[in-house]
């Protein structure tokens, strides 16, 4: 059985502990894997230029691939509750270097800082080796959503649509509350992230006019931090942090012309806490990309999934 060996690295320890508890609770529901395939999910070890990434491809009736990019420091199993709801779609998940089932970066590459753009190019090489159809719907969570933005900016012809799941705001990312290595000290073969270089890339990125959805966590998630975690962000209060985060989600949606969806109760870990809402956003964007219609979610489906669309 495939093991999950990597937990999330978040900017506050309370979120990391919560993610770990949730992953343990759903571990019994994981799909069994022989190392070759898992139902229609096929796991492959892919050489992307001197190192190996683990990827999982599941074929669906819709050949347009939906590519999932993990949050910082997490493995592809963070999408395990979303994927069964996308059974009509061809889906792709993968682990970045030194995380999950992927091999560590070889020296000296492991000691060279890498930007989000470099991680987007790494994903593009992976998808090319897998011979997946193009263009693709790109889905990213947290910092993974920033990688998705860079993928769209650097590979617009291969981007059919974007779904940003509680995207790390540009302001929060630039504040650099992060360990230097993506997998922290426990994963020395993971990427050293070049935050200043990544911020410069994001500031100058030209994004293609593709169908998009921005899914935000429920207001109030920052109020759930412990006093110790709140101290890391002083002098900002939890309410100020929350207001800035929600405003950041609105700005990202406006920048993309995206449908903004706000979760009813999920915190940052929306793929685990409200997977139905994530899949609804993905399906809406894929439908818009395929049929050249505006991105929309039927009100009944939105209520069932537990979300709202603020008035524009």
The string of DSSP codes covering 87-110 is TTEEEEEE--TTSTTSPPPPTTGG
> Would you state the pLDDT for residue 27?
38
Beta bridge partners of 260: 214
pTM: 0.87
Helix (H, G, I), strand (E, B) or coil at 63: strand
- Write out residues in the chain with pLDDT < 70, as ranges: 1-41, 176, 312
User: Quick one: DSSP state of residue 191?
Assistant: P
> Phi/psi class of residue 34: alpha, beta or left (left: φ > 0; alpha: ψ in -120 to 50)?
alpha
Digit-coded pLDDT (tens) for 184-196: 878 889 999 999 9
DSSP-derived letter for residue 181 is: B
Query: CA-to-CA distance for 294 and 157, rounded, in angstroms?
Result: 19
Using CA atoms of 47, 52, 57, 62 in order, give the dihedral in degrees to the nearest 10: -50
3-state secondary structure of 64: strand
Alpha helices in the chain (DSSP H): 13-26, 116-129, 143-154, 170-175, 195-204, 227-231, 238-256, 270-273, 275-291, 299-305
Task: Give the pLDDT of residue 176.
Answer: 66
**DSSP reduced 3-state for 80:** coil
pLDDT at 20: 42
Q: Which of 214, 223, 227 minimizes the C-alpha distance to 161?
A: 214
Question: Could you give phi then psi for residue 123, rounded to 5 degrees?
Answer: -60, -40
List CB contacts of 8: < 8 A, sequence separation 6 or more: 15, 16, 19, 20, 71, 72, 73, 74, 78
Report residue 131 CA to chain centroid gap.
Answer: 22
* pLDDT reported for residue 9: 30
pLDDT at 31: 36
> What pLDDT is recorded for position 33?
36
């Amino acid at each position: 059985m495939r093991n999950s060996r990597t937990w999330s690295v978040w900017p506050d320890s309370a979120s990391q502990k919560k993610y770990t508890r949730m992953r343990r609770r759903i571990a019994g529901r994981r799909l069994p894997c022989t190392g070759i395939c898992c139902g229609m999910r096929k796991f492959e070890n892919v050489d992307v230029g001197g190192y190996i990434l683990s990827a999982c491809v599941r074929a669906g009736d819709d050949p347009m691939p939906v590519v999932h990019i993990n949050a910082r420091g997490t493995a592809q199993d963070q999408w395990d509750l979303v994927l069964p709801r996308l059974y009509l779609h061809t889906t792709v998940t993968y682990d970045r270097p030194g995380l999950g089932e992927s091999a560590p970066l070889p020296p000296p590459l492991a000691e060279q800082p890498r930007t989000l753009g470099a991680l987007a190019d790494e994903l593009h090489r992976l998808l090319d080796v897998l011979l997946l159809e193009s263009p693709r719907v790109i889905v990213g969570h947290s910092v993974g959503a920033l990688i998705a933005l860079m993928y769209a900016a650097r590979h617009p012809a291969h981007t059919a649509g974007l779904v940003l799941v509680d995207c790390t705001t540009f302001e929060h990312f630039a504040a650099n509350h992060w360990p230097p290595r993506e997998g922290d000290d426990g994963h020395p073969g993971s990427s050293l992230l070049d935050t200043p270089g990544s911020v410069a890339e994001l500031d100058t990125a030209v994004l293609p006019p593709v169908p998009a959805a921005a899914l935000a966590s429920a207001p109030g998630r920052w109020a759930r931090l412990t006093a110790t975690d709140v101290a890391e962000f002083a002098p900002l209060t939890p309410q100020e942090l929350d207001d800035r985060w929600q405003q950041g989600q609105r700005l990202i949606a406006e920048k993309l012309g995206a449908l903004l969806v706000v979760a009813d109760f999920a915190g940052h870990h929306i793929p685990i806490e409200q997977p139905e809402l994530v899949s609804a956003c993905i399906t809406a964007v894929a439908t818009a990309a395929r049929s050249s219609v505006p991105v929309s979610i039927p009100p009944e489906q939105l209520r069932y999934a537990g979300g709202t669309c603020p008035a524009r």
